[in-house]
Amino acid sequence: MKKDFECTQESYAREVLREKGLKSTAQRLAVVHVLHTSRKSLSVGEIHDRVKDMLGTTGLATIYRTLEMFEGLGIVKRLHFPDGGHGYAFSQGEHVHHMVCVDCRGVFDFPECPVENFDYASVEKQGFRVKNHFIQLFGQCVKCAEAA
């Protein structure tokens, strides 16, 4: 495949894929490219459209398959919106949470984990063992706040 685009994010994805014995297909790398060059989270449909712009024909099922796989690999994060919709954002593996603008769906990293050293003792004593967590902050970005 021709690489009009290539950067640390694509190389990172290639690396993760190779380690797992998975193929670095044009479609997969295009999804990475589309996501990491977007400052807003994208819906499956939006990702599909942009990948088609890059590669010509592309099956929607491939986008779904790729996103599910990437989420498992920690390459993308699925976000949940109040209206019930979902968005996807690039996420380079490290433990990071996101803030999303409820107006433009813009995504902003939130590196400090609020529950990093939170004491689950009170609740684990009831027997529940916490394994991981999902945190998403909602708010307004600068641009949308000004536009309002």
Partner DNA sequence: TATCAAATGAGAATAATTTTCAATTGGGCT
Partner DNA sequence: AGCCCAATTGAAAATTATTCTCATTTGATA
The residues binding Mn ion (CB under 5 A) are 80, 113
By the rule CB under 8 A, 25 interacts with a copy of itself: no
Residue pair 66/27 in contact by the 8 Å Cβ criterion? yes
Which contiguous run of DSSP H or E holds residue 146? helix 142-147
- Minimum distance from CB of 28 to DNA (Å)? 5
Binds a copy of itself (CB under 8 A): choice among 1, 7, 145, 147: 145
Binds DNA (CB under 7 A): choice among 9, 13, 28, 87: 28
- 67: closest CA among 50, 99, 90? 90
By the rule CB under 8 A, 135 interacts with a copy of itself: yes
Residue pair 63/48 in contact by the 8 Å Cβ criterion? yes
Residue pair 78/88 in contact by the 8 Å Cβ criterion? yes
In the range 88-107, which residues lie near a copy of itself by CB under 8 A?
Answer: 99, 101-102
